[in-house]
Structure 1
């Protein structure tokens, strides 16, 4: 089976992605982008992605969540607050790609 390194390291180097996805489908896409070299910033609500609480777990974190979020940076924003929405918009303006699946 081919891996991202077979295609070439950093094929997406320099691409900046803000990831507002949750649970499974969106995180799979942004994981693939990170695997190919994109700088992915995952934005979670203060309570974290729902998938963090899934089973099976190791070290207090869901293995599925861990596997789908390798290579990403994380931040938390409470998007019910206007100042957090403003920060999210500023982040989106600085990125090349915005991914969401609300």
Structure 2
């Protein structure tokens, strides 16, 4: 699986968890998404312990082992963080346009 596909799947899952939190739990966003993700992880571990989710667990393990950390960090996360920083500055009104010489 390509790195951008993995990022897209993570973003879609996070958006789904955020919706579930907003609709049902009504916890603060970070706390709600993290608690739902923790609960889903515990469900996967419980299914694996009972022998029902062994294929799912192995697929997740293969996916995690296929990710190259340096590639993810330099090609994906840093560019995304720079984009989000620019959007934050634009929304706060601290950055209006490119400076001209």
TM-score range, shorter chain: under 0.3
Higher RCO (CA 8 Å, separation ≥ 6 residues): 1
Structure with a larger share of its residues in strand: 1
Larger radius of gyration: 2
TM, length-normalised to structure 1: 0.25
Q: TM-score, normalised by structure 2?
A: 0.26
